[in-house]
Each structure stands twice: as C-alpha cells, then as structure tokens.
Structure 1
Amino acid sequence: MPRQFDGSRVRAVRRGKDLHQKELAEKVGVSAPTVARWESGQDFPKGEKLPAIAAALDQPLDLLFPYDGPPDLQLLRCDAGFSVAQAAAIIGTSRVPVSNAESGRRRLSDVYVQPLAQAYGVTEQELLDAQDCSFGLRPRASRDQQSSAPHTVGEKINYLLEYGYVGQEAPSDKEIARLVNEHAGVEAVTADDIAALRTGATTEASDLVRAGLAHALQVDAALLQDDAQLDPKAREFMEMLRFLTSIHRGQILGLAARGNSKGLSAEMMAHINGLVGELKYKLPEAHSGE
C-alpha cells in the first residue's frame, strides 16, 4: 500500500526545523512552489520522493509517512527512492515489466528478482512476498499478524457485526444468543458465551453453535469455520461487506469500473478497501476532531 501523506504535517515539521519551503525544495530536488502545493494539499509527491522528504526533515520515514499492512512492490521501490523508469534501468528493460508487476498484471521474470532486491535493499524472499501482495495474495505466515483478515469464529462475528449492518443496528450478544438457541432448538449458548467468542476468551464453538451463528448473522455456515485463509467466495463476500460499509460512511466518493462483466474480483475489492483506508487520512472530516 502507498504511504499516507499529510501536507499539513509536513509543513508543521518543516517549520519546527526552521526550514523555508525553498530550503526543503532544494534538499528534495524540486521547486519551492511544488513544496507549497504539497503542504496545501493541492498536490501530492510521488512515492519515491517521500524518503528524501523524511531525510530532509530528519524524521523516520515510517513515522512521518505511515502505511497500513505489509509492503507491496510499489512501496519497496518508492522506499528505495526509485521511479519506475529508474527501477527498469536497473534490470535493463522498459518500464513495462516493473509496472506490470506492481499493478498485479504479470509477475517479474526470475532474472529480475535478485538485482531488484539488491537495489531495494531487501532479500529476494522479501521482494517475492511484496510481489504476492501486489497480486492481492495473502501475506505469508511470518507476516500474518499484520493482516486484518478475520480467521477465528469470534473475529468473523466481529467483522460481520461491524460491516454487515449498514444503516441498521447490529444485534447484541443477547440477541445473537437467542437466535442461535432458536435455530438449535436447545439452549446452546448464552450472551456471555457470545461475548467470550468475540473477545477471544474462547475460540471453541461446536458445529451446532456455528450453524446457529450463521442463521443469526444471515451468512453461509461455511463462512464461520476456522481457517488459515478464506476460500475465494467467502473472501469476496467479506471484502464486499467492508466495501459497502465504506460507501455508506462516505469514505468512497465515487467508483467507475470497466472491462469486467463479472464484477470486481476479491483481490480488486481488497485493493479498493486498502485505498479507502488511505483516503480517510486525506478527507477533511478525518482531521476535524484533532
């Protein structure tokens, strides 16, 4: 995912360092009017400029320009300070292989992995992991903690409660327990049991309870099975819920899609949801309470 850029924060840090816009511009290699547009929110720097800006302001890159989730190929390139053209020059090709890999269209040829990893200052495995992220694939186990995808039945309950009730009140633990018991025909759970699942105090739930939860939350029972990775249909459903909630909350202002008669894929939905997470930092209301 791209890093989050806040022009007003850059301005505050610059002023705190007693730097003029012209001085920052000279350090970064741009004009003073360009810095002014960045700070006013009229424009945004290219990702490969962010390391130079952070260095000029003597700030940690991750602190000044944070990002969510594991890095993809674009982030690795930008953090190394390279444009697409410069990265392509490293491997002696046109821009096409680099652009295709970053946009999830075609993977890098094996012969490009080692020189790019070396140029980006990462291991070959880290580059391949980043490429997986660019293609919308789930991060490997070593980075699972950075993934927001729900795994346990409790995490999935929380996800559905947060994103599955757009414009209406989500059911309480007591109401969920009632619906589960109604479906089961016996008193299978209590409100405290539901709360324990949601908080992670317990991760165990019988098939009877899971079926009842699916009835209560109006989803397919398969969605509430514990798994390391959601199957494609389940993942698409979860991403669609989050996407629709983002629209309802005003985090997505418009969307246009073309060239796909079957609708957006789960990978594309995940990518759009990630962009929504980035966009919220740029919306005026996101800073109104600060």
Structure 2
Amino acid sequence: MPARHFDRHRARAVRRAADRLQGQVGADMGVSDSAVANWETGHSSPDPEKLPEYAAALRGALDDLFPRTGMPDLADLRCDAGIYLNETAGVIGTKSAGPVSAAEKGVRRLKDRYVPALAARYGVSEGDLRRAEDRSFAAAEEKSRGAESGVHQDAAADLGRPPGSLAEKITLILQRSYPGPQGPPSDAEMAAQVNAQMGADILTAQDFLELRTGVKDTAPTAVLPALAAVVGVSPLYFESDDAVAAQVYEGLQLLAAAKQGSIGRVKARGLGPQGLSPRMMALVNELVAEMKEEEAEAGK
C-alpha cells in the first residue's frame, strides 16, 4: 500500500518551530517522551495509525507533514482515521476484526452492512470506502501474480518479449504509467477515466477487468483510443501488429509517391479500412513538405 512518508528530520524541525517539547508531543499522543525522541533520532518509527495524532501534536496537517503518493487502500483509510485493526470489531459490531482484516488483505469483501459504520468512522463516503477496497483487492491480485511467477517483474520481463495480446499490452502500460508501490488505479477507476474520455458510460469495471486479464480480447471501437489518451500513448499501441504494419506500409507508399512527384494523386485516394487516420495523414504530409523544402534548398 502507499504508506505515508515519515521524515524524522522534518518532524523534529516542525516540533521545534511550534516551540513544543518532546514530552508535550508525547503527552498529546499518549506515549512517552522517549518514544518521540526515538522517532526523531531514527531508532524507531511511529505506527501508521499514530500519524494523525502525531500531526495534530505537531500543530500541522497530516497530508503536509506525512504525505502519501497515490490513492489510499482500506488499510490506509483506517490508519488515517487513527484506528488499529483490532479496534474495527467495535466499529462494525463483530466479535473480531476478521471481516476488516480479510478485506484489507484482498481475501473477502466487506458485507454491505459493515460499510456505513466504517465509512462514518473513517470520515469518508461509502463510495470512497468501496473504491479503497477495490485497490486493496487489486494489490492482492498483483501480489498473487508475482508470487506465482516467482519474481516481481513487469509483464514484458515475464514474457521475455514485447507484449502481443491486448491483455499484455494493457497490463504493461498500466505498470509503466503508474510505477511505485501504490500501483495503477483500480479497474473501476480506469473504467471511469476511459468513460470520461469518451463522454459516455460505455465501459464497466468488469469490462476493464476482462480486457486486462484476457477474458475478452476485443473492445468497442472508441474504448482503446480513449484508454490510449488516458495513459498517454499512441492509439497504435493497442492495434494489432498487422494493422500497425499496414499503416506503416501506407506511409512508406506515400513517401515514395512524394519522391516521384505524385503526392497530390496519393492524397486524393481516400482512406481504406487499414489506411492512415487524418492525424497520421497530416503528419506524413508535414514530412513530405519538409522533404521538398530540403530538396529545394539542396538544389540551390
């Protein structure tokens, strides 16, 4: 999970700037002054559940003092609320913290009746809680895949070759686009971003999961270009090798025609099913224009 970053030097500087003694900070947090001293010297680190109290004792904001990169999972939300795992049993009215522990580990999802109480105690909406749960399950699934392969490598390294299937391409680009321990957004979040790019609710979280895992190997026409825009790659990335090769071949034909002085005839041909897109055609024409200028300059 994307744990908050604890910087002992910053914590000490902020405490001193607030004109607070280690004993005062410890008293506010219910710990000894020696515990605070050990945190500042690097001999130990505060529990993540203690960071909200620590920030308050230092008279600072949690996100400013102990920042996190990426979106929180279920355990992160609990820690941000200053709650230890064993305390969640009292929140949801069960004998043990088993239901919350299982959800944080990506083993079993929370029952609907637990969600309102947890969301209220964590200070988030029920939707935010469920999205954090999705991230916990996504992280568990990723960890499981790494354990099965015996190494924690990306899809391209596991394959020993460039990605070929649509699922391999999606997995690789997500890993490359969202590096770090927090990993990529959940399937639901990716589907939402793609839908926002398309301006319509076409893709569901289940649809994206099936594309990412190879259950489905084709997507509606607008989905892949929208996904390409979300992750910042060319739409050609998600095309089949044959389709890309056809576009490259078409471009080479255009360049050859330009060298022969017949680019006007080629430009008027129109586009076939494997032809160049308007954007690609414009790029080729720009290259042709540059070539003509260079040839003209060379002939002077």
TM-score by length of 2: 0.50
Q: Does the 8 Å CA contact 2:246/2:275 hold for their aligned counterparts?
A: no
Following the alignment from structure 2 to structure 1, what is the Cα–Cα distance between the partners of residues 71 and 125?
15
- Residue of structure 1 aligned with 2:232, choices 144, 155, 158: 155
The residue that corresponds to 1:63 in the other structure is 64
The residue that corresponds to 2:85 in the other structure is 84
Letter paired with 2:232: E
Report % sequence identity. Answer: 42
Following the alignment from structure 1 to structure 2, what is the Cα–Cα distance between the partners of residues 188 and 91?
67
SS in 1 for 2:187: coil
SS in 2 for 1:77: helix
Q: 1:21 to 1:79 in 2, by over 3 A?
A: same
Following the alignment from structure 2 to structure 1, what is the Cα–Cα distance between the partners of residues 46 and 120?
25
Following the alignment from structure 1 to structure 2, what is the Cα–Cα distance between the partners of residues 69 and 86?
26
Following the alignment from structure 2 to structure 1, what is the Cα–Cα distance between the partners of residues 73 and 5?
14
The residue that corresponds to 2:44 in the other structure is 43
Shift of 1:105: 1.5
Following the alignment from structure 2 to structure 1, what is the Cα–Cα distance between the partners of residues 233 and 17?
44
Q: Does the 8 Å CA contact 1:70/1:139 hold for their aligned counterparts?
A: no
Q: 1:207 to 1:34 in 2, by over 3 A?
A: farther
Shift of 1:155: 2.1
The residue that corresponds to 1:197 in the other structure is none
SS in 1 for 2:43: coil
The residue that corresponds to 2:135 in the other structure is 133
The residue that corresponds to 1:202 in the other structure is none
Tell me the alpha carbon deviations over residues 170-193 of structure 1, each in whole angstroms, 9 at most, x when there is no partner.
xxxxxxxxxx89963744899xxx
Aligned length in residues: 173
Following the alignment from structure 1 to structure 2, what is the Cα–Cα distance between the partners of residues 8 and 186?
57
Shift of 1:35: 1.2
Q: Does the 8 Å CA contact 1:17/1:57 hold for their aligned counterparts?
A: yes
Q: 1:105 to 1:20 in 2, by over 3 A?
A: same
Deviates more, 1:50-59 or 1:90-99: 90-99
Give the structure with the higher percent helix: 2
Q: Does 1:32 align with 2:33?
A: yes
Shift of 1:92: 2.3
Following the alignment from structure 2 to structure 1, what is the Cα–Cα distance between the partners of residues 63 and 254?
44
SS in 2 for 1:53: helix
Q: 1:44 to 1:101 in 2, by over 3 A?
A: same
Shift of 1:208: 7.2
Letter paired with 2:24: E
Tell me the alpha carbon deviations over residues 31-67 of structure 1, each in whole angstroms, 9 at most, x when there is no partner.
1221122122232211111111111111111111111
Shift of 1:151: 3.8
Aligned runs of 1:222-241 on 2, under 5 Å?
none
The residue that corresponds to 2:14 in the other structure is 13
- Residue of structure 2 aligned with 1:184, choices 249, 258, 266: 249
- Residue of structure 1 aligned with 2:98, choices 76, 96, 99: 96
Q: Does 1:117 align with 2:193?
A: no
Higher RCO, Cα 8 Å, sep 6+? 1
Q: Does the 8 Å CA contact 1:181/1:188 hold for their aligned counterparts?
A: no
Following the alignment from structure 1 to structure 2, what is the Cα–Cα distance between the partners of residues 143 and 23?
46
Following the alignment from structure 2 to structure 1, what is the Cα–Cα distance between the partners of residues 228 and 106?
29
SS in 1 for 2:109: coil
The residue that corresponds to 1:176 in the other structure is none
Q: 1:183 to 1:39 in 2, by over 3 A?
A: same
Tell me the alpha carbon deviations over residues 89-123 of structure 1, each in whole angstroms, 9 at most, x when there is no partner.
21122122111111212111111111111111222
Q: 1:185 to 1:79 in 2, by over 3 A?
A: same
Following the alignment from structure 1 to structure 2, what is the Cα–Cα distance between the partners of residues 98 and 29?
25
Unaligned runs of at least 5 residues, structure 1 = 161-179, 191-205, 211-290
Following the alignment from structure 2 to structure 1, what is the Cα–Cα distance between the partners of residues 70 and 87?
25
Letter paired with 1:3: R
Shift of 1:81: 1.3
Following the alignment from structure 2 to structure 1, what is the Cα–Cα distance between the partners of residues 106 and 253?
46
Unaligned runs of at least 5 residues, structure 2 = 139-185, 195-225, 238-244, 256-272, 278-300
Q: Does the 8 Å CA contact 1:73/1:131 hold for their aligned counterparts?
A: yes
Aligned runs of 1:130-279 on 2, under 5 Å?
130-136=132-138, 137-140=186-189, 144=193, 151-152=227-228, 155-156=232-233, 184=249, 186-187=251-252
SS in 2 for 1:140: helix
